Amino acid sequence: MKKSMLILSVIGLLMTIQVKTYSQNNLGKTPVDGLFDKRTQSANSLNRVPIPYTSIRESDVMWSKRVWRVIDLRQKINLPFYYPIDEQQGRKSLMQIIYNGIKENSITAYGTDDEEFLTPLTAADLGKKLDRIDTIQVTSTEPPYDVHDSVVNNKFNPSDVVLIRVKEDWFFDKQRSVMDVRIIGLCPVKELYDDQGEFKAMQPIFWVYFPECRKLFATNEVYNKFNDAERRTYDDIFFKRLFGSYIYKESNVYDRKIGQYTKGMDALLEAERIKNDIFNIEHDLWEY
């Protein structure tokens, strides 16, 4: 009995010494929010580069097709693009990254009609497009309770963007014998409301050149619902095509969108037809 009490006393003393030593060693240090300090991993993320594309020769492209598709950020599979609304644990939403990149001049914005990326938007033009100054009527809180106009400066909110238009080229590379795709540009689309708060339309705001964005995308992590320890970036998401989307236009002689010649369920079926046609091109090439 005395031996057992002695052993328990020694263990208790050792635990007390260990706790005191740990407290002294960590006195004044910033608490670590997690299993370990992520500074090393964060530094590695900042030095990451985009996944390199395979070199393509013009003579090796035996077939190509340009399509435009929409990524709806409200779909469950696309929520990592939309959240977090505010920066959280070093993570930002896709639109926050694009918007900050434009303000820091690491990304160039182009007009909504400039899908060929020929004329960059100036800072003043972009400010007029994104920020809005409204005049509202306000009633005075003191007699004679007169009504006067008040100017309200509505700053651009990245969370207003709910759609991303994607311009991309599908092609068959006969050198590698594979069907491949390259994203060319992205166009954020935000919801537009009237003065009464009623929804009016979807408004595209600008285009960005995707290859120019890849460096910034590669250095920003995105939420991975399957594994918090996997450091996945926005460049990984686009490169591996881990998103949901639907086609709204293909290259055609009329240069028209699907919605201009069919509606409703027929429009969805037409989008599926275009997707299946691309699949069948590759499949038919291997028929013999």
CA distance 86 to 65: 38
Rounded Cα–Cα distance for residues 37 and 119 (Å):
45
Reply yes or no on whether the pLDDT at 43 is more than 70. no
Query: What gap in Å lies between CA 116 and CA 207, rounded to an integer?
Result: 9
Computed over every residue of the chain, the mean pLDDT equals 83
Q: What is the mean pLDDT of residues 198-221?
A: 92
Do residues 106 and 218 touch, judged by C-beta distance below 8 A? no
Q: Under a CB-based contact definition with an 8 Å cutoff, are residues 202 and 163 in contact?
A: yes
pLDDT, tens only, 92-147: 999 999 999 998 999 999 998 888 999 899 877 887 778 766 555 566 666 666 66
Exposure string of 226-235, with b = 16+ CB inside 10 Å and e = fewer, is eeeeebbbbb
CA distance 213 to 219: 10
* Most confident listed range (26-40, 91-105, 136-150, 192-206): 91-105
CA distance 281 to 171: 10
pLDDT at 212 over 90: yes
Q: Is the peptide bond before 84 cis (omega within 30 degrees of 0)?
A: yes
* pLDDT computed for residue 226 by the predictor: 86
Amino acid letter at 124?
Answer: A
Provide, rounded to the nearest whole percent, the portion of the chain with pLDDT above 90. 50
- pLDDT score of 256 more than 60: yes
**Higher per-residue confidence, 119 vs 5:** 119
pTM to 2 decimal places: 0.80
